[in-house]
């Protein structure tokens, strides 16, 4: 009897214990399934949010692209300012360039063209260093800068023999240095002026008068710059002034020697300057 009771109690305890473990298992399993369901739902919500965010980013990028396109279009739109056709982009580049020039000179600029001339003149001045004048040529070469026009006066004894329009070979180093300066600045035009003294041309000479001699000398210098040193011909202008613009009186040998000269006048070309701005 006692043995039977003991077995019954043990069986009951085992059964009770089995029932509790199974409940816990079911509970844990339900919790696990709920967690998996929540995770799947969260993942789905995350993917939906990411898709919405990607669409928003795409819309923002499209808006920014349209804004940039409209800005570029507006900046590149040509405007007439003081008779000069110029865009907003070119104006911005001009402001950047003007920051480098002498501010006292800039304060005296009264127009947009004055400012453009200052920029070209500034670039040219930087290139007209002491290397243009070779050793021993200091008295025969004079460089003057009148506002934005650069004038280089060269005595004839450096360029020509007396009464001749053929460029002397000893002038080659000088003309090569000059060509390097001209070629370094595309926004320029260069006028070469021939000047003579007042003495008349000898009868039987190959030129008729000082007009012809002055033009022939200017043309000879231009041909040398073009053919020997690669200066673009469209930048060059030949002019003869004969004896009618003397520096001093022609009644002395020294005065006549000073009046016989070639003058290189370097002029800013504003149209080319604007083209350079647009290309940068």
The answer on 273 and 134 residing in a single domain is yes
Residue 251 covered by a domain? yes
Are 171 and 50 members of one domain? no
143 within domain boundaries: yes
Q: How far apart are CA 142 and CA 41, in angstroms?
A: 88
The whole-number average pLDDT for the span 240-268 is: 91
Print the domain residue range for 217.
Answer: 130-279
The tokens for 76 are 């590149």
Q: What is the pLDDT of residue 158?
A: 87
Do both 50 and 164 map to the same domain?
no
pLDDT at 28: 77
**DSSP class per residue in 169-195:** GGGHHHHHHHHHHHHH-SSEEEEEEEE
**Residue 32 within any structural domain of the chain:** no
| pTM recorded for the entire structure | 0.56
Q: Could you give the percent of the chain with pLDDT greater than 70?
A: 65
Report the candidate in 92, 61, 96 with the shortest Cα–Cα distance to residue 79.
Answer: 92
Average pLDDT, the chain: 76
3-state SS class at 133: coil
Residue 131: what pLDDT?
Answer: 59
Q: Tell how many helices (H) and how many strands (E) occur in the chain.
A: 9, 7
Question: How many domains would you assign to the chain?
Answer: 2
Among 125-134, 137-146, 234-243, the range scoring the smallest mean pLDDT is: 125-134
Same structural domain, 164 and 235: yes
Report pLDDT digits (tens) over 154-197: 988 889 987 788 998 888 888 998 898 888 777 788 999 999 99
State residue 79's pLDDT score: 47
| Structural domain contains residue 168 | yes
- Residues 193, 268 within the same domain: yes
Does the residue 96 lie in any domain? Answer: no
Q: Domain check: are 60 and 158 in the same one?
A: no
d(CA 168, CA 117): 34
Distance CA 157, CA 253 (A): 13
CA separation for the pair 200, 271 (Å, rounded): 41
Query: Is residue 258 in a domain?
Result: yes
8 A C-beta contact, residue 261 and residue 199 = no
Does 104 map to a domain? Answer: no
> Is the pLDDT confidence value at 6 over 70?
no
Residues 72 and 159 in one domain: no
How many C-beta neighbours within 10 Å does residue 140 have? 17
- Residue-wise pLDDT tens digits, 55-85: 888 878 877 776 776 555 554 444 444 455 5
Does residue 30 register a pLDDT over 60? yes
Whole-number pLDDT of residue 218: 96
pLDDT beyond 80 at 43 = yes
Yes or no: say if 157 and 257 are a contact pair by the CB < 8 Å rule.
yes
For residue 100, being part of any structural domain is answered with no
pLDDT of residue 127: 62
CATH number at residue 153: 3.30.1330.60
């Amino acid at each position: 009897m006692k043995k039977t009771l003991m077995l019954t109690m043990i069986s009951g305890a085992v059964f009770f214990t089995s029932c509790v473990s199974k409940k816990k298992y079911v509970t844990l399993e339900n919790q696990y399934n709920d967690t998996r369901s929540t995770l799947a739902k969260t993942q789905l919500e995350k993917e939906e949010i990411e898709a919405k965010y990607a669409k928003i980013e795409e819309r923002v990028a499209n808006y920014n692209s349209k804004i940039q396109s409209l800005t570029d279009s507006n900046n590149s739109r040509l405007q007439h300012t003081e008779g000069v056709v110029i865009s907003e982009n070119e104006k911005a580049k001009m402001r950047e360039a003007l920051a480098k020039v002498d501010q006292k000179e800039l304060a005296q600029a009264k127009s947009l063209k004055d400012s453009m001339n200052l920029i070209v003149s500034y670039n040219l001045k930087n290139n007209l260093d002491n290397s243009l004048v070779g050793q021993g040529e200091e008295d025969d070469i004079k460089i003057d800068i009148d506002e934005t026009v650069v004038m280089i006066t060269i005595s004839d004894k450096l360029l020509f023999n007396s009464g001749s329009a053929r460029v002397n070979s000893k002038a080659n180093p000088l003309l090569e240095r000059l060509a390097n300066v001209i070629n370094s600045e595309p926004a320029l035009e260069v006028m070469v002026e021939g000047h003579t003294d007042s003495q008349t041309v000898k009868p039987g000479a190959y030129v008729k008068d000082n007009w012809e001699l002055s033009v022939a000398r200017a043309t000879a210098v231009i041909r040398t710059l073009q053919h020997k040193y690669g200066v673009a011909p469209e930048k060059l202008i030949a002019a003869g002034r004969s004896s009618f613009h003397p520096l001093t009186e022609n009644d002395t040998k020294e005065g006549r020697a000073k009046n016989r000269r070639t003058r290189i006048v370097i002029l800013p070309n504003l149209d080319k300057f604007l083209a350079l701005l647009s290309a940068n």
